[in-house]
Structure 1
Amino acid sequence: MELFNSALGKNITFMHPPFFIIRGFIGIPNVKYYFVFLCFVYIVSVLGNTAVMAVIYLDHNLRAAKYIAVFNLAFVDLFGSSALVPKVLDIFLFNHNIIPYNDCLTFLFFCYTCLSMQSFNLVALAYDRLVAIIYPLHYQVMVTNRFMFSLIASFWLFAVVAVIISVGLITRLSICKSVVINSYFCDHGQIYRLACNDNFPNDVVSFLYPVLIFWLPLAFILLSYLYIGYTLAKVATVQEGIKAFKTCTAHLLSVVVYFIPLLITFTLMEKIHPNSRIINLSLTSVFPPMLNPIIYVLQTKEIKVSMKKILKVTGRSKVTNRK
């Protein structure tokens, strides 16, 4: 961040606190039961996403462009859960709610990067379904493995740069109002409002970030499915349309799991109690990584068949070793 600061101005001293205090779940009755639930969610997330990644890696039949995006989604879900949940449990379950300044910014970076990539992965999968249904004869040419790798890499680059800018702008703030963050993690919005110097650039970022990471991806996904529905209604029979949409079931469920809770929370943000808002937001962070692997295993025939084959081979090898 020194390079970032030197580019914006030299000989400027910023007042950084030695630590922040995370107080998101303070005052919520019986909150320890919620943390036990988070432990369960995290374990399921780790097992489920690891299994999906292993199946895609081991089965050469799943080396298609679509499964590159599914593999990356599982990786981001695993990485994001591991960046968030253990730290949240450490902060609130073991009362380690004092977090050093630099650690807090690192925590923010990983959480926001993974949150961004979850959204972008759903965009990549929406594009895959759009081309597969609307242009099936050109699918192999338009959605190659190389194209999907490039698309996901560009998303990673954009997400990392966007979050680095957000973190860099925080280092330009002098924190003097308080060191208490009323959230369950080091939230950008909560931190920059504690500053006593000009935080207008952070205000702009806090407006642009949801637009780029949330609203634009959601708009693209909705328009993609509207176009798919419109095209199928013109050229396909009802049965053909249903069959085509069945290939989108896993993706649609992941979109619902990720976006609907956020939409509800943002819509009712001013009307619900701050504690309820914090719990709702924390659930929207941990539920998609848990449910996505379950959705893709149950709703994707190729992954389901591949997992059964791997389990059969593993079972046979165990029986052989016992003999």
Structure 2
Amino acid sequence: MGRWNSTIVPGFILMGLTDSAETQLVLSVLFLLIYLITVLGNMGMILIIRTDPQLHTPMYFFLTHLSFLDLSYSSVITPKTLQNLLTSNKSISFLGCFTQMFFFIVCGATECFLLSSMAYDRCVAICRPLHYPVIMSTRLCWSLLTGSYVIAFVDSTVNAVYMSRLYFCDSNVVQHFFCDTSPILALSCSDTTEDEIIIFICAGSNLVLSLITISGSYLSILSTIMKINSTAGKKKAFSTCASHLLGVSIFYSTMIFTYLKPKSSYSLGRDQVASVFYTIVIPMLNPLIYSLRNKEVKSAAVRIMQKIEVSRQLK
């Protein structure tokens, strides 16, 4: 094919997850089911929190936007993946590829900092309960949310600028099911050392800074919980952050495994499995984690259903 600059690439070919027609059919049904659960679960969380006044607190403010991010996160990847699985057309335009990559990074980076904000919120609630309404003001919540999006957009823009400078030779076949940085770097015939360093710094700084915030918050929480005399008090304090801790553990373990490593260690099969988990499965799990383990959300859902039933009977 010769040597061509990424600015004139007509498009890429996404190889997907498998060449087997039977496996593709099974995966398409599975991913469609997961995507429907993701959409319904996250939209349900947003509607429940927005509708019930008792959930209009900082914790649920962040949880609403986490659900929005998970919904966006999955929608950036899953529909195109389903199209590739169900049709023979696996091509994606240059603009489509880098647009997908851009919004994928925006959603991922924003979620990192949003999880940090949620950890800080839980820290204040447990460690300084009397000052919680003052510290976690509406202004601070919006500032944390806005800052998360701004940093993510800057990070994604830097990534897009460096990736768009790459040259490609001989093949435009992406050995992945979506446009991610690792397979695109692996495809390039340019010297990607500088690009890898910049991307590693951006991704690493996001993960490290957010993890420092989360770790510091939970160390403070643990220290406070250990000072509580009653077992019931300790259990109640821990239960308020158990769901968040579980969500953080699942999200960060796959992100670190995938991104905090050099291009030379890229493994197609291993990275694809991890990618499926954090792009398609985790957005489905988060609303289940935060709803099934949260009595307030379940109670709010029951109240909403009761109101709907009463309204239906009155008609």
TM-score by length of structure 1 reads: 0.87
Match of 1:19 among 11, 23, 45: 11
1:280 aligns with 2:274: yes
CA distance in 1, matches of 2:170, 2:156: 24
1:316 aligns with 2:315: no
Residue 64 (structure 1) aligns with: 57
CA distance in 2, matches of 1:264, 1:190: 15
Residues 55, 307 of structure 1: 8 Å contact kept: yes
**Per-residue deviation, 1:276:** 4.1
CA distance in 1, matches of 2:75, 2:259: 25
Residue 37 (structure 2) aligns with: 44
1:172 aligns with 2:170: no
Structure 1: tracts of 5 or more residues without a match: 1-12
**Per-residue deviation, 1:260:** 3.2
Residues 14, 172 of structure 1: 8 Å contact kept: yes
CA shift in 2, pair 1:276/1:30, >3 Å: farther
CA shift in 2, pair 1:235/1:317, >3 Å: closer
Residues 25, 86 of structure 2: 8 Å contact kept: yes
CA distance in 2, matches of 1:275, 1:82: 23
TM-score by length of structure 2 reads: 0.89
**Per-residue deviation, 1:264:** 5.7
Residue 176 (structure 2) aligns with: 183
CA distance in 2, matches of 1:92, 1:143: 45
* Secondary structure, aligned partner of 1:281: helix
CA distance in 2, matches of 1:196, 1:266: 20
Match of 1:138 among 116, 131, 148: 131
Residues 117, 156 of structure 1: 8 Å contact kept: yes
Q: CA RMSD in A?
A: 2.5
**Per-residue deviation, 1:144:** 1.0
**Per-residue deviation, 1:170:** 1.7
CA shift in 2, pair 1:15/1:64, >3 Å: closer
Percent identity for Structure 1 against Structure 2: 30
Cα displacement string for residues 239-263 of structure 1 (whole angstroms, at most 9, x for unaligned residues): 3222100111221221133223445
Cα displacement string for residues 111-154 of structure 1 (whole angstroms, at most 9, x for unaligned residues): 11112222222111100001111111111111112211110111
CA shift in 2, pair 1:136/1:236, >3 Å: farther
CA distance in 2, matches of 1:69, 1:123: 10
CA shift in 2, pair 1:268/1:198, >3 Å: closer
* Secondary structure, aligned partner of 2:227: helix
Structure 2: tracts of 5 or more residues without a match: none
**Structural mapping, 1:75-224, within 5 Å:** 75-224=68-217
Residues 189, 206 of structure 1: 8 Å contact kept: no
* Secondary structure, aligned partner of 2:17: coil
Task: Write the letter of the residue equivalent to 1:139.
Answer: Y
**Per-residue deviation, 1:280:** 2.8
Cα displacement string for residues 140-193 of structure 1 (whole angstroms, at most 9, x for unaligned residues): 111112211110111001101110111111222222352111112111222234
